[in-house]
Copies of this chain bind each other. A is one copy, B any other.
Amino acid sequence: MQDSFEVSASTGTYAVTVGDQLLADVVREHPNAVYIVDTILEDRLPPEAKRRIRIDALEANKSLEYAPHLISELRKAGADRSTHLVAIGGGIIQDVVTFAASIFMRGLPWTYMPTTLLSMVDSCIGGKSSINAAGYKNLVGNFYPPKKVLVDVSFISTLDAEMIAGGLFEAAKICYASNYQAFLDYLACSPGLKMTDEQAVNVIRHSLLTKKWFIEIDEFDQKERLLLNFGHTFGHALEAATDFGISHGVGVGLGMLVAAQYAKRETELTDAGKDHVAHLIEHVKDMIGPRAERVLQSPAHVDLDLAMEKFEFDKKHKSDSYRIVIPNREGALALVSVSKTPETRRKILGAFSAAFDEISWPYQIPQVVTPA
């Protein structure tokens, strides 16, 4: 069971294969590659993969300060201009290897095997890295796609429910950002916390093919691709405000909920718009709302004033306006600029509160303090 398609980038075309049991094939094809693997997955690597570098998938290692260590490990492993790298891991491993592969001797070819659902449905294509620097999250990064992406659904068995839910939120985001029909098609693939390998392949393929349109039309994040920030600006704020007690994927789910509540409260939605937004809200609630199986623990409390403070500092904003992706009147997504006024801040805080009310998660009542 496997399926392949191609993604075009300015640096050339790369093939994406979604299937199971792909790891052994890679090692057969690249016996002399340097394998860079998430430490907790190293025991899955066949012994034939001799040159290997382990990386702990920690936020601290996804940093410019950590890069010299990895470069030094590559040098010690004997990497030269002709060396192929194979990265095996989730988003952190992908970020670190995208960056290191792009700069080592001015660029090595590499293969990427995503191992978290989030990286399988979303980040594995597009070629972006996000790297922390000087204490700032994702302040630096670049574009350097792999030569080949191999999505092996066998790795899903290593994930817990929260990681699966997080991945599905990113997939839902991509499909909803594309159009309502793509979102319905996604739901028809039976996304859920327990999927068969075949269901997983279908969900991943649909999500990646939907994302492919965005990255081919807008490789460098200038226009269409910006819609894929849906849920992210609010979500990042919640991740940061809980000191990353809320994971990235769940943050995106909550962020979509905040954006949907903002649209419900501040936009005159058409009947179709109301319907689409409600459908999105239901999907998020199914996973983390009061009806969910409680696989996701809500944090002890969320301080929405702190979330608002984090939101203020998002690097995508302009000096006088917030830039957020929210449903328009028809329920379709749009990147909008909203003036930074006390009134706007109240509206955004209101949307945050309404989102948490919707899923019955506890939060600290916001004070609506206006920053100087």
Known pairs A68-B64, A81-B315, A315-B81; A103 contacts B75 (CB<8 A): no
Q: Which of A125-152 contact B (CB under 8 A)?
A: 128, 131, 133-136, 139-143
Which of B71, B134, B143 is A72 in contact with, Cβ under 8 Å? B134
Cβ of A102 within 8 Å of any chain B Cβ, yes or no, is: yes
Minimum distance in angstroms from A335 CB to a CB of chain B: 14
Q: Is the CB of B140 within 8 A of A103?
A: yes
Residues of B within 8 A of A75 (CB): 134, 136, 139
Q: Size of chain A's interface in residues, with CB distance under 8 A?
A: 33
Residues of B within 8 A of A6 (CB): none
Q: Which of A99-135 contact B (CB under 8 A)?
A: 99, 102-107, 128, 131, 133-135
Q: Is the CB of B221 within 8 A of A106?
A: yes
Which of B72, B128, B133, B315 is A68 in contact with, Cβ under 8 Å? B133
CA distance A242 to B24 in the complex (A): 49
Cβ of A10 within 8 Å of any chain B Cβ, yes or no, is: yes
Residues of B within 8 A of A71 (CB): 64, 133-134, 139-140
Residues of B within 8 A of A133 (CB): 67-68, 71-72
Which of B64, B67, B81, B141 is A106 in contact with, Cβ under 8 Å? B141
Binding site for B on A (CB under 8 A): 10, 64-65, 67-69, 71-72, 75, 80-81, 99, 102-107, 128, 131, 133-136, 139-143, 220-221, 315-316
Residues of B within 8 A of A139 (CB): 71, 75, 104-105
**28 residue pairs bridging A and B, Cβ less than 8 Å apart:** A10-B10, A64-B68, A64-B71, A65-B68, A67-B133, A68-B133, A68-B134, A71-B133, A71-B139, A71-B140, A72-B133, A72-B135, A75-B134, A75-B136, A75-B139, A81-B315, A81-B316, A103-B131, A103-B141, A103-B142, A105-B139, A105-B141, A106-B128, A106-B141, A106-B143, A106-B220, A107-B142, A142-B142
Nearest B residue to A76 via CB reads: B134
Residues of B within 8 A of A65 (CB): 68
Minimum distance in angstroms from A180 CB to a CB of chain B: 30
Residues of B within 8 A of A131 (CB): 103
Known pairs A81-B315, A134-B75; A106 contacts B140 (CB<8 A): yes
CA distance A281 to B142 in the complex (A): 44
Minimum distance in angstroms from A48 CB to a CB of chain B: 21
Residues of B within 8 A of A10 (CB): 10
The 3 closest A-B pairs by CB, nearest first: A72-B134, A103-B140, A71-B133
Residues of B within 8 A of A316 (CB): 81
Residues of B within 8 A of A72 (CB): 133-135
Q: Which of A99, A105, A221 has the most CB of B within 10 A?
A: A105
CA distance A103 to B140 in the complex (A): 5
Residues of B within 8 A of A106 (CB): 128, 140-143, 220-221
CA distance A142 to B124 in the complex (A): 22
Which of B103, B128, B140, B220 is A104 in contact with, Cβ under 8 Å? B140
Nearest B residue to A71 via CB reads: B133
Q: Is the CB of B142 within 8 A of A102?
A: yes
